[in-house]
Amino acid sequence: MTTGNHPAGSPRLALFCHRVDNRAIARLSLVLGGELGAMGCDVSLVVTGVDPSSAPAIPPHLRLVDLGLRIGSTMEAVPSLAAWLRRARPDVLFAQHNGPNRAAVVARALARVPTRIVTVEQNHYSSYISPAGGGWRHRRLRDRLTGWIYPRADRVTGVSPDVVADLETRFPGVRGRTAVLPNPGPSPEQVAALGPAPVDVPWLASPRAWRVIVNVANVIPRKGQDLLIEALPEVRRRAGDVRLVFVGRIDNAAYHAAVMNRARELGVADQIQFLGFRDDRLSLVVASDAFALASRNEGAPLSILEAMACGVPVVATDCTSGPAFLLDGGRCGTLVPVDDVPALAAGLVLVLTDPDLRARLVPAARERAAAFTPRRAAEAYLALADDVMARSRNRRKRKAHAADTPRV
């Protein structure tokens, strides 16, 4: 949990996210922090609290700073974060996602410290739908705050080019200071160490007489589990005995109940399983025959990167941001239109039944995933931190030079 000795001059970095739990943003923050620490940086992961049920493994070389708050809005953490910034004074703080992004910029202003702030947008802002499925609350206020706060960050980044382009269009004040910061997928070592399919999921045992499609996503409307249910009867009609395994937290109980009711109406309730969150999701994916993500909105989904690295063919909806970027426009996976059940079914049938297609997609996806390893992502973060610090030093030098230059 603590960092070791760091080389003289190594940057002092911080990552800030809402909570440490088993959600994707917390997991990627832990991975990035651990990798940056292993590269010689002094790194702190600052969080508003720790979910006691998640039991996170804190990587070596990473200092966890728990602000100890039990809050709903990250903006309520601003005073505590400002107090920590005054004490720790990191060189650069990377905030993760919209709420922490705004909180970090405001906390820096309150703390009056020279820490550089880099915001990292994890989703496509304009098309984002809240986990409850009804859209962001107070959208106009959120837009106004974001439009005022983001231009005051040192750099505004997103996890895909489309995320960044959307921010530049919606908030013109950020133009000229944006960048893409990729999310980390699994490392080759992590994939190589995967064990066999878990014994408590007999559908994934090998050998088997059926094929299994795995979906890894929290169960909420924007992730589109309902579309996969709608597609399953046609997939089974054309590809034989095919089953669906859903892995992810059930964050919307009403949506989950509606999906299950629809599965019963379609006669496929016995061919689907909802497993909830699983730490061993990669073993589930690698044992499957195909991976499917039917999202209506994304940023750059980690689950797609995980499937690509595991050598499992991917079918994903071509939503506004994310899947097309990761799948290189369809070269590394099958893209289908959003909310198009026949196209989704056809895509799944193809990857399940066309060996030539699988033979093309899998190696291309593995090669593409190699660009998103934890080390490659951490290198991108460090390069941006170095650039931000260099620009800050140059601005100070110019100001000092201007102050020393006599007026004539």
Q: What is the pLDDT of residues 260-292, one digit of tens each?
A: 999 999 999 999 999 999 999 999 999 999 999
- Phi first, then psi, for residue 316 (nearest 5°) are -140, 150
Q: What is the mean pLDDT of residues 140-153?
A: 93
| Residue-level pLDDT at 402 | 52
Which residue blocks in 267-327 are alpha helix, DSSP H? 281-286, 302-309, 323-326
Which residue, 120, 85, 86, 92, is CA-closest to 36? 92
- For 248-259, write each residue's pLDDT tens digit: 999 999 999 999
Band of the pLDDT at 134, cuts 50, 70, 90? very low
| Residue-level pLDDT at 199 | 85
Which residue, 369, 297, 375, is CA-closest to 332? 369
What is the enclosing helix (H) or strand (E) of 92? strand 92-96
Length of the chain: 408
Spatial contact of 43 and 13, defined as CB atoms under 8 Å apart: yes
SS3 220: coil
> What is the C-alpha to C-alpha distance for residues 312 and 140, in angstroms, rounded to an integer?
41
Angle at 250 between CA 245 and CA 255, to 5 degrees: 95
Q: What is the mean pLDDT of residues 146-154?
A: 96
| Residue-level pLDDT at 320 | 87
| Residue-level pLDDT at 79 | 97
| Residue-level pLDDT at 65 | 97
Domain over 188-371 is classified CATH 3.40.50.2000: yes
Name 290's bridge partners.
213
| Residue-level pLDDT at 396 | 59
- For 323-360, write each residue's pLDDT tens digit: 999 999 999 999 999 999 999 999 999 999 999 999 99
- For 57-84, write each residue's pLDDT tens digit: 899 999 999 999 977 788 899 999 999 9
| Residue-level pLDDT at 230 | 98
Spatial contact of 253 and 361, defined as CB atoms under 8 Å apart: no
- For 8-64, write each residue's pLDDT tens digit: 567 999 999 999 998 899 999 999 999 999 999 999 999 999 988 877 789 999 999
| Residue-level pLDDT at 52 | 84
Please tell me the least confidently modeled range out of 90-94, 143-147, 287-291, 384-388: 143-147
| Residue-level pLDDT at 4 | 47
Q: What is the mean pLDDT of residues 114-129?
A: 92
Average pLDDT score over the chain: 92
| Residue-level pLDDT at 137 | 62
| Residue-level pLDDT at 3 | 44
| Residue-level pLDDT at 198 | 86
Q: Residues spanned by CATH 3.40.50.2000 within the chain?
A: 12-184+373-404, 188-371
State what percent of residues in the chain have pLDDT above 90. 81
| Residue 398: pLDDT over 60 | no
Higher pLDDT, 46 or 137: 46
State what percent of residues in the chain have pLDDT above 70. 91
Q: Which CATH number fits domain 12-184+373-404: 2.60.40.3080, 3.90.226.10, 3.40.1440.10, 3.40.50.2000?
A: 3.40.50.2000
| Residue-level pLDDT at 196 | 85
The residue type of 259 is: V
| Residue-level pLDDT at 128 | 83
| Residue-level pLDDT at 381 | 98
Claim: this prediction has a pTM higher than 0.85 = yes
Band of the pLDDT at 391, cuts 50, 70, 90? confident
Instruction: Quote the tokens at residue 364.
Output: 């291309």
